[in-house]
Amino acid sequence: MIVNLQATPYTAEKKGDVKRMRKDGKLPAVLYGHKEKTQTIYIEKNEFKKVLDALRKEAVTVNLSIKDKEYLCVIKAIQHNPITDELLHIDFQHIHKSEKIKALIPIHIIGEAPGVKQGGILDQHLHEVVVKCLPADMPSHIDVDVSNLELGQTIHLSDVELPRVEYELSSETPIVSILVPRAVAAEAKPAAEKEEVAEEKKEGEEVKEEAKEAEKTEESEQKKEKKE
């Protein structure tokens, strides 16, 4: 997702200028990258809060406008007051369309797992993952479909391939599993035992039938030998 933000350059000349800026609803920030001169800027706090809302759901790339010039950016750092949680400062990194970048992408679970309907518990191990790709290939989020996930099964990163996107974690990293509660496992065990007993009984009957057939064949051959 790309969002547009308007920024204004500023220079803090006196002590307390930044504090007054925050009181006026402005959020101090910096823009840097590609060996370019770092720019001190500010953006409207209310506008950035909209970006924060989007960030909670998906990855965001920012189109930052400064003096009629546009910069494609990613947000590298967001500073909050540790006590009040007030927004204090933002770091923007200027990126190029031909340059691969890393970003933290949220994972969304979709669908209804058959394993859950059978009494299992859906356990999401991974809620977000760092990927590396070109800005144009950057996914806003990653959908993981659990519609075919049965009891005891797991979906790994290797099961969710994205074109031209690299994962920073191992492909064997688990994303989501269906756990089997003890009660469900206990119920399944007698059923499995009954099935096993039935199978053994069936096999026993087949062996008996084969033995009878063998006896009949042997008796028939013995009668033939006596006649001869």
Do 7 and 83 reside in the same domain of the chain? yes
What's 21's domain CATH number?
Answer: 2.40.240.10
Question: Of 166, 92, 86, nearest to 129 (Cα)?
Answer: 166
List, for residues 42-81, the tens digit of each pLDDT value. 999 999 988 888 887 788 888 899 988 999 998 888 999 8
Strand order in the sheet with 142-145: 142-145, 101-110, 128-133, 166-167
pLDDT above 80 (res 35) = no
Do 81 and 133 reside in the same domain of the chain? no
Do 161 and 186 reside in the same domain of the chain? no
Number of structural domains in the chain: 3
Question: What does pLDDT average to over the chain?
Answer: 84
Task: Find the mean pLDDT for residues 146-170.
Answer: 94
Do 106 and 134 reside in the same domain of the chain? yes
Structural tokens at position 84: 């009040």
pLDDT > 90: percent of the chain: 45
pLDDT above 60 (res 225) = no
Gap between the Cα atoms of 144 and 153, Å rounded: 14
Task: Find the mean pLDDT for residues 169-183.
Answer: 91
Instruction: Give 36 or 9, the one with higher predicted confidence.
Output: 9
The whole-number pLDDT of residue 44 equals: 92
What's 123's domain CATH number?
Answer: 2.170.120.20
pLDDT band at 214 (very low <50, low <70, confident <90, very high): low
List Cβ neighbours of 27 (8 Å cut-off, separation of 6 or more): 42, 43, 44, 45, 48, 87, 88, 89, 90
Do 51 and 119 reside in the same domain of the chain? no
Gap between the Cα atoms of 39 and 77, Å rounded: 15
Do 37 and 90 reside in the same domain of the chain? yes
Do 187 and 199 reside in the same domain of the chain? yes
Gap between the Cα atoms of 176 and 93, Å rounded: 32
The whole-number pLDDT of residue 103 equals: 87
pLDDT band at 182 (very low <50, low <70, confident <90, very high): confident
For residue 110, give Cα distances in angstroms to 93, 147, 149, 156. Answer: 32, 8, 11, 15
Last residue of some domain: 37, 61, 95?
Answer: 95
Do 59 and 35 reside in the same domain of the chain? yes
Do 25 and 50 reside in the same domain of the chain? yes
Using only C-alpha atoms, what is the Rg of the chain?
Answer: 33
Do 169 and 109 reside in the same domain of the chain? yes
Task: Find the mean pLDDT for residues 30-46.
Answer: 89
Do 160 and 210 reside in the same domain of the chain? no
The whole-number pLDDT of residue 92 equals: 92
Do 169 and 210 reside in the same domain of the chain? no
Structural domain span for residue 114: 102-180
